[in-house]
Structure 1
Amino acid sequence: MDRRDDGEIAGYLEPVAEDYSRVLPRNVPGHAISNDREYADSDGLLQERGIKELMQLWTLNRDFGDATSELAILELSTQGIIVANALRTKALKPAERIHVDWPDVEQRLKPAASRARP
């Protein structure tokens, strides 16, 4: 994991070349945020992003059936990403928890198009 100076985890760099001369920058959920680049360039991209995108609303791709409402990330660890209906969780109401494998390299989670989380 790549950390900023303040200790915030910013993502990670997936090696494309054995010597790490080329790496693929991935955000905290595991999505590629660029094409592969030199190490320093990739690290800089991660440092700029940080974890703020975790606060946005998400949707799941069609593989998850009807679970297409706006979702909030509740937990993120190497054991997986747990999401649930954003409105219900904000209101502290019970909501179905959905598990997505981490890293989400298949990009099952997508940023919701409608709006960012307030």
Structure 2
Amino acid sequence: MTAVSDWVAVTRDDGETVGYLDSQSPDYDPVVPRNRLGHAVGEPQSYVDAEELLISRGIGELAEHWSLDGGGQALAIAELSPAGIVLRDALLAKALVPTEDVRVAWPDLDGRLTRFTASR
């Protein structure tokens, strides 16, 4: 893994960043495709294949609910930038009720955020 500052941003035609390429060698072959949160979303692969994967995935997952450290609370991403990831209680935020911000370092290389699954 290269330093985060060396990741190459992958953008769509509209200029939206959809992820990053994390080089595994000085010649960028192979690279690990990473989503906007910094999570690996595929195995090391060619630059072109990884770029195409990220573009096809898009950023829809950012609208999903997330769990922090395996907790049972559904969180929504309110902000995402190099300054950090800001999350809020998903139900309260949807109802526009003020809620306490939860902050996580960006990129989330420790995998603190996982997709929320409601227990039945």
TM-score w.r.t. length of structure 1 = 0.88
RMSD: 1.1
Letter in 1 for 2:23: P
Instruction: Give the TM-score, by structure 2 length.
Output: 0.87
1:8, distance to aligned residue in structure 2 (A):
1.7
Structure 1 gaps, min length 5? none
1-structure distance, mates of 2:117, 2:21: 27
Query: Unaligned stretches of 5+ in structure 2?
Result: 1-8
Alignment equivalent of 2:25, drawn from 9, 17, 38: 17
Once residues 88 and 72 of structure 2 are traced to their aligned partners in structure 1, the CA distance between those partners, rounded to angstroms, is 10
Quote how far apart the aligned CAs of 1:68 are. 3.4
What's the offset of the Cα at 1:61? Answer: 1.1
| Percent of matched pairs sharing the same residue | 45
Shift of 1:97: 0.5
Rounded Cα–Cα distance in structure 2 between residues aligned with 1:100 and 1:80: 6
Residue type at the aligned position of 1:91 = A
CA shift, 1:29, in A, is: 0.7
Moved over 4 A (4+): none
Number of residues of Structure 1 aligned to a counterpart in Structure 2: 110
Secondary structure (helix, strand or coil) at the match of 1:18 reads coil
